[in-house]
Structure 1
Amino acid sequence: MFKSYLKIAGRQLLRSKLHSFINITGLAAGMAIAILIGLWIWDELFYDKYNKNYDRIASVMEQITFNGEVGTSYSCPIPLADELRNNYGSEFKRVVLSWWNRDHILSFGNAKFTRIGKFMEPEATRLLSLNMLKGDHDGLKDPSSILLSATVAKAVFGNADPLGKMMLIDNRLPVKVTGVYEDLPHASRFKDVMFIAPWQLFVNNDELAKTHKNNWGFEMAEIFVQLADKVDMDKASASIKNSKLERVKNDAGLSVYKPRILLQPMSRWHLFAEWKNGVNTGGSILFVRLFALIGLLVLLLACINFMNLSTARAEKRAREAGIRKAIGSMRKQLVIRFFTESLLIVVLAFALSLLLIQLALPVFNQVADKRLSIPWTNVYFWMAAIGFSVFTGIIAGSYPAFYLSSFQPVKVLKGTFKAGRYTSVPRRVLVVLQFSVSVILVIGTIIVFQQIQYARNRPVGYSRDGLIQLQMNTPGFYEHEAALRNDLLKTGAVVEVAESSSPATGIWVFRGGFDWPGKDPSLQPDFGVVAVTPEYGKTMGWQFKAGRDFSRAFTTDSSALVLNEAAVKFMKLKDPVGSTIKWDHGNYTVVGVIKDMLMESPYEPVSQIVYSLKNEKLLFLFIKINPAMGVNEALDKVQEVFKKYVPAAPFDYKFVDEDFAGKFAVEERIGKLAFSFTALAIFISCLGLLGMASFLAEQRTKEIGIRKILGASVLNVWQLLSADFVLLVCISLLIASPIAWYCMHTWLQNFQYRTTISWWIFAAAGLGTLAITFVVISFQTIKAAITNPVAALRSE
């Protein structure tokens, strides 16, 4: 019986080739999008789940209250780790101190590589569930050791055994390779970590860490913990809440900030990383929910196509259903037959969708920054795929199956069956729904890109043109500091050279302890602090509002400050230049005020920043390329100077404008994916429109013939057949526009620096949708309009 159903269903598909093509292609595109989004969501939800202790691991975070606003940070004071071990040891199985992901130079003989690494305490190997390919989990107990990822080990040593080999970190720290671990998965917070070295090695050789290793007021490290067995995460977090406050309660300068310690579970690191005023407000989970909705909507569009085309052809197949009922077929059998036809289409569509996914995955992975693949050997994938296909087939085929099987055979066979004036209403509703979803996606995508462009065009307060930065992570930079700068300027390829404690696109240090005339005693100030060399302003292209830049000609500038506009506004200084500011028991004079230099998120207000002259080794070198010289030629000259003075360091530079562009990576990635899904959603909708136009033209062939004989022109016929579709699309625009406005207005509230939603976006989406509609329906309507009316009326 089932074989018979399949044979009949196959014949029906071959009989209506155009509609079969539209159904299968539309469903395949919808299913491909849904499966791609499903793979993406699966990857997002399973971030860091490679770790055997996934449910027991957390980051230690600190919350500090500044002027009623609660800030939340992963930065913690170093002594907090021992406090957790000694006084809260029953809560934790492991407590691991860690330094931040940073670029470091790895050297072995003449081979030199710049790779991201971490300095961590020995228990890190077990906390991170590293799969040790060589060596064991105790490899970091030696304070002069290093663990390499498999990729780095291969790059440095080739096929040779790396164990026991000596290397240099940053050309100054000799270490011995004590282990090689399997690269961590791409879906991991630690995916970029290419080596791990002992925390003690870092503390012993870093002046800042040495100075502040017992300082409760200097938040500079990461702390990770693994809970003891049977300890509840929330209870452990609550128990350590006042662990820092208890230590600093007698220090008025620190206790005033009401420090609070809490745990952020590993399960929330990736999708719930956003905090506002002390509340975990979400993060990437928003995009997971958004794409899940898009996937369902696109699949719904594909199903709508199938239902529309099937019910539209109901009158043609009504006689078939009537004859089958007359010769004894039960309604149940007809329902099964139509569901079989539906499931056959779905199976063919699913097979085509897998092909489309396989072809699209390389591009999708590149855009989405993923490493996704179809899990061919995963039984759960196939169970989900089969269930998914059956569900889609049932949903897509339910309406036509029950609708077609409900016809009364007597009326159908007598020819008295009429579809009724309201029969087309469900189809019209579905078309409106279909285009409403498409228009919402179009408007949303335009606004996402507009927001990105708005933030990208935001004034940054400095010049990024020809500006490169390098991280000074080897002693050679400091040993030849003056000679390096002088020789770079002599090449003619460089306009200016400067140093800074922070990159151009970030502020690495925030500090309190500031006092100034007129300051409210209850105010708890927090400033971004950037140490620079005197040439920094000229190199960056500072734009001064008042006063002057730092200068080597003024010896007093060692106690001078330059403020940005945000700092002046925060301090409420009416005449800031010449003002005296107290900072850490020292007096400083404000010599200049600059326009706000955008160093952090382009979507948020600029922080109040204090610039001072360096009194320590700085981390970043900035070089302004001469605009009169070609970039490649200039870089070659700069590299020659670096080889002369810092031969041990690779010439690894970044253009500041490219680094700044990286701040838009997430939004651009989401925008590109949304654009792709929107384009496919429109394609699916247009396929349905093409099918409906084709059916309508076929259904009204004789009417068109009569109208043409009576004098109707091609334009008249085109208008006749197009009017209904244009009306439906206009209704879709009216429904979609307020929904799209509300959704995107709500989304924009996540950004303090945001664009406005302009009327032209809705006009463009509407005109674009109407233009596409005209193009699609004109293909069939004009074809019908130019058909010889004699051919249409011959059978009458």
Structure 2
Amino acid sequence: MLTNYFKIAWRNLTKNKGYTTINIGGLALGMAVTTIIGLWVEDELSYNDHFEQKDKVAQVWQSQTFNGNVGTGTAIPLPLAPALKESYGDYFEELMMASWTFDAYLKYGEKSISRPGNRMQPNAPKMLELQILKGEKDGLREINSIMLSLSTADALFGEEDPIGKVVKLSNEYDMMVTGVYKDIPVNNSFHNTDYIVPWDHYVANAEWIKNSLDNWGNNSFQLFVKISDNVTFEQVTKAIIDIKKNADEEIAQYDPKIFLLSMEDWYLRSRFEDGIQKGGRITYVWLFSIIGIFVLLLACINFMNLSTARSEKRSKEVGIRKSIGSQRGHLINQFLSESFLVVLFAFLVALGIVLLFLNGFNELSRKEINFPWDNPLFWTFSLLFVVVTALLAGSYPALYLSSFRPVDVLKGTHQTGKYSGLPRKILVVVQFTVSVAFIIGTVIVMQQINHAKNRPVGYDKEGLIQIPTFAQDFVGKTDLMRTEFINSGAVVEMATSSSPTTQIWSNRSGFTWEGKPDGFQEDLAWTEVSPEYAKTLNLRIVEGRDFSREFASDSLGVLINETAKRYLGMENPVGKFIIDDDDEDPDPPMKIIGVVQDIIAQSPYEPVKQGLYVYDREDNFSYYTLRLNPKQSAGQSIAVVERVFKEHFPDIPFEYDFVDENYGEKFASEERIGSLTGIFTALAILISCLGLFGLTSFVAEQRTKEIGVRKVLGATVFNVWNMLSKDFLKLVVISCFIAIPVAYYIMNGWLQAYPYRIILKWWIFGLAIVGAFGLTVLTVSFQAIRAARQNPVKSLRME
């Protein structure tokens, strides 16, 4: 019986090739989109699955309140770890202090490379569940040891055995390689940890860290924990939440709250607003999951519409089969078999599409998704996917076609009824509602990105490069290198800074100034710069003057940005002082010598933070910032810069970044989301138009004789086009009325996550309406005009 079902199904499919092509093509596109989205979602949800016990690992976070505004982040003070171990040691199986991840120079023999890594305590290999390939698991127990990832070891040593070899770290410290571990997977929070240096080495060689051992106010470190089996994250958080507040009376004014954020939430749910967890990338997981479901639904709707529209073609078949004894259940099985066959072919085509475009999708989404050929779970889900899709696409046509009464069909008295086409119309409305909503959403996402991109950055980022200076070799050579670079003709100006231009690495409080309100809790971005910083960036001085080497007093000067002027409440700030309020180790008072234009150093979607630019008196810089000579090509200038750099730092690899490219990275996540959304929207529209094309073809075929009679009676091509098009255009109008409020509600909610955002304007929705109408007219017109231009003699000769 089953074999017979499939034989009949195959004959019907091959008999109606155009109908079959549209059905398989539409379903294949829908299933391909859903499969790719499914692989992307699985990759997102499997982030950090490298850890077998990720449900027990957490990072210590804290929230602090400044003037009623709650800020939340991962930075914690150094005394927190010993305090937790002493007072709540039973709650933790492991505690591990860590620095921030940053690049370091690694040198062996004549080979020198730069790699990102970390300073961690000796239990890091256990906490990170590293797969040790060579050497020891506890390779960080010696202060001058270092552990390397396999790719880093290969880059430095090639075929040599790295264990026991000495590597020069930052061109300053001799470190012995004690372990090589397998590269950490990309979808892992520690994937860019290519080397690990002992925490004790970090403390021993940095005076500021030693000074932070008892300082609860210096939030410059990270702390990772693994909780004991008998407690939960909530229980631990409840116990430790006020530990920092209780430890330091001065810090208590900021109401610090210490809590644990589970590893399962690091990637997907790490966004906080006013101290409350508000999601994160999980929003995009839900977004794309919904898109995938709707795209598949659109493809299934095509199948339903075309199957029910062709009901008259199959009515006699149903009547005959029922009259010779077929039960309704047999007919339902027959039509579901056809559906299953179509979906199976569509799935095979979809797999081909996925394989063809997976590399491009990976490049666009910055993923490393591999097709899971050897994953039985994938094929189980695929089979389930095919069956569910077949049932979803075929259930309504099967129930509808099998309901015909054989007597009426065979006597020719079967009437489809006044409302028989209503379900198809409803499905078309659903299709175009989804498509219009997708169009609106895509336009709004791109508008928001462009809105932030077009925001004035406050400086000239073109022709600006940054060179990292993470080694002692650079100390004391700033003036020499500035002179050398400028004399080379490749650079017109150079400055140093403690943070890159596109980031803020340090925030400080504990200052007082004239007119400071009682109880005011300041939070100021802090960047130490050389005197030429504003000149190098082409920063506009709006009040006062820039730093000058001609004034020795400028070493105690400070520039503030426009936001800081308002934040400090100073109407005429130039000449006033900002005083360090630290009684134990106060810095000299800083005199405000100028106000500079605001620059975007953090997220372009956030307000500019109040900031101080402090004269760097002690070479606390991390970057050279160079303004390239605009009179020659960037390539020429960089080649000269590299030559000059290598003359003075032959043992350090030359690396640089264009500031405009770094700034562009701030939009990368949103742009990827926008691009993917745009592609999926285009495919959704294509699927909808494909279904509309098939439906229009069938309607035109169904009304061939009517069109012939009308043409004989004098109807023009426009009259026929209008007759076939108006019903579909009415459905599009209804779709727009439904889609617009739905899209407005969803996208307005999405925009609320961005303080700097667009205002939704009518033309965005108007554009979507025009687009929907245009696509409908183009799709319908092709078949309508084709039908209208046919010779009526051919359609009426049998009458």
* TM-score, length basis structure 1: 0.98
**Aligned residue number for residue 21 of structure 1:** 21
Whole-Å separation in 1 of the counterparts to 2:225 and 2:503: 27
Whole-Å separation in 2 of the counterparts to 1:762 and 1:208: 56
Displacement after TM superposition at 1:20 (Å): 0.6
Matched, 1:39 2:42: no
**Aligned residue number for residue 537 of structure 1:** 534
- Kindly provide the amino acid, as one letter, of the partner of residue 717 in structure 2: V
Whole-Å separation in 1 of the counterparts to 2:80 and 2:447: 44
The structure 2 residue matched to 1:658, chosen from 652, 657, 661, is 661
Check the 8 A contact 1:245/1:255 in 2, yes or no.
Answer: yes
Displacement after TM superposition at 1:471 (Å): 1.2
How big is each residue's C-alpha offset from its partner over 1:78-117, in whole Å with a ceiling of 9 and x where there is no partner?
Answer: 1211112222111111110101111111111111111111
Residues 55-454 of structure 1 aligned to structure 2 (within 5 Å):
55-249=55-249, 252=250, 254-454=251-451
Matched, 1:599 2:601: yes
Check the 8 A contact 1:480/1:645 in 2, yes or no.
Answer: no
Whole-Å separation in 2 of the counterparts to 1:111 and 1:758: 57
**Aligned residue number for residue 547 of structure 2:** 550
- Taking every aligned residue pair, what percent have the same amino acid on both sides? 46
Displacement after TM superposition at 1:208 (Å): 2.6
Matched, 1:783 2:786: yes
Whole-Å separation in 1 of the counterparts to 2:549 and 2:214: 35
How big is each residue's C-alpha offset from its partner over 1:386-411, in whole Å with a ceiling of 9 and x where there is no partner?
Answer: 11111111011011000000000000
How big is each residue's C-alpha offset from its partner over 1:520-549, in whole Å with a ceiling of 9 and x where there is no partner?
Answer: 111111101111111111011111221001
Secondary structure at the aligned position of 2:254 is classed as coil
Whole-Å separation in 1 of the counterparts to 2:755 and 2:118: 33
Whole-Å separation in 2 of the counterparts to 1:261 and 1:210: 23
Displacement after TM superposition at 1:213 (Å): 3.0
How big is each residue's C-alpha offset from its partner over 1:717-758, in whole Å with a ceiling of 9 and x where there is no partner?
Answer: 122111111221122122211211221111111101011222
Residues 368-767 of structure 1 aligned to structure 2 (within 5 Å):
368-584=365-581, 585=586, 586-616=588-618, 617-767=620-770
Displacement after TM superposition at 1:604 (Å): 0.6
Displacement after TM superposition at 1:512 (Å): 0.6
- Kindly provide the amino acid, as one letter, of the partner of residue 699 in structure 2: L
Whole-Å separation in 1 of the counterparts to 2:303 and 2:218: 63
- Kindly provide the amino acid, as one letter, of the partner of residue 280 in structure 1: Q
Whole-Å separation in 1 of the counterparts to 2:659 and 2:600: 12
Whole-Å separation in 2 of the counterparts to 1:578 and 1:306: 76
Displacement after TM superposition at 1:442 (Å): 0.8
- Kindly provide the amino acid, as one letter, of the partner of residue 717 in structure 1: V
Whole-Å separation in 1 of the counterparts to 2:523 and 2:477: 35
Check the 8 A contact 1:476/1:645 in 2, yes or no.
Answer: no
Matched, 1:772 2:775: yes
Check the 8 A contact 1:53/1:129 in 2, yes or no.
Answer: no
- Kindly provide the amino acid, as one letter, of the partner of residue 746 in structure 2: C
Displacement after TM superposition at 1:46 (Å): 1.3
Whole-Å separation in 2 of the counterparts to 1:169 and 1:791: 87
Displacement after TM superposition at 1:479 (Å): 4.4
- Kindly provide the amino acid, as one letter, of the partner of residue 324 in structure 1: R
Secondary structure at the aligned position of 1:406 is classed as coil
Check the 8 A contact 1:62/1:73 in 2, yes or no.
Answer: yes
Displacement after TM superposition at 1:212 (Å): 2.0
Whole-Å separation in 1 of the counterparts to 2:526 and 2:255: 22
Displacement after TM superposition at 1:255 (Å): 2.2
Whole-Å separation in 2 of the counterparts to 1:493 and 1:375: 50
Displacement after TM superposition at 1:481 (Å): 2.4
Whole-Å separation in 1 of the counterparts to 2:242 and 2:136: 37
* TM-score, length basis structure 2: 0.98
Matched residues, number: 793
Whole-Å separation in 1 of the counterparts to 2:747 and 2:497: 39
Displacement after TM superposition at 1:474 (Å): 1.9
Whole-Å separation in 2 of the counterparts to 1:715 and 1:518: 77
Runs of 4+ in 1 over 3 A off after TM superposition: none
Whole-Å separation in 2 of the counterparts to 1:196 and 1:513: 34
- Kindly provide the amino acid, as one letter, of the partner of residue 64 in structure 1: Q
How big is each residue's C-alpha offset from its partner over 1:587-645, in whole Å with a ceiling of 9 and x where there is no partner?
Answer: 22111111111100100111110111113321111001111121111111111110111
Check the 8 A contact 1:339/1:398 in 2, yes or no.
Answer: yes
Check the 8 A contact 1:106/1:167 in 2, yes or no.
Answer: yes
Whole-Å separation in 1 of the counterparts to 2:760 and 2:192: 38
Check the 8 A contact 1:34/1:299 in 2, yes or no.
Answer: yes
Unaligned runs of 5+ in 2: none
Q: Judge which range, 750-759 or 2-11, deviates more.
A: 750-759
Whole-Å separation in 2 of the counterparts to 1:655 and 1:210: 35
Whole-Å separation in 1 of the counterparts to 2:37 and 2:575: 58
Matched, 1:6 2:6: yes
Secondary structure at the aligned position of 1:704 is classed as helix
Check the 8 A contact 1:323/1:409 in 2, yes or no.
Answer: yes
- Kindly provide the amino acid, as one letter, of the partner of residue 629 in structure 1: Q
Whole-Å separation in 1 of the counterparts to 2:727 and 2:191: 55
Secondary structure at the aligned position of 2:776 is classed as helix
Check the 8 A contact 2:433/2:735 in 1, yes or no.
Answer: yes
- Kindly provide the amino acid, as one letter, of the partner of residue 158 in structure 2: G
Q: Judge which range, 613-622 or 50-59, deviates more.
A: 613-622
Q: Judge which range, 121-130 or 756-765, deviates more.
A: 756-765
Displacement after TM superposition at 1:148 (Å): 1.0
Displacement after TM superposition at 1:651 (Å): 1.3
Displacement after TM superposition at 1:374 (Å): 2.1
Whole-Å separation in 2 of the counterparts to 1:631 and 1:355: 43
How big is each residue's C-alpha offset from its partner over 1:551-577, in whole Å with a ceiling of 9 and x where there is no partner?
Answer: 111111122111111111111111111
Check the 8 A contact 2:244/2:252 in 1, yes or no.
Answer: no
Secondary structure at the aligned position of 1:679 is classed as helix
- Kindly provide the amino acid, as one letter, of the partner of residue 590 in structure 1: I
Displacement after TM superposition at 1:264 (Å): 0.6
Whole-Å separation in 2 of the counterparts to 1:388 and 1:136: 46
Secondary structure at the aligned position of 1:256 is classed as helix
- Kindly provide the amino acid, as one letter, of the partner of residue 137 in structure 2: H
Check the 8 A contact 1:53/1:127 in 2, yes or no.
Answer: no
Displacement after TM superposition at 1:710 (Å): 1.2
Whole-Å separation in 1 of the counterparts to 2:417 and 2:427: 18
Displacement after TM superposition at 1:496 (Å): 0.7
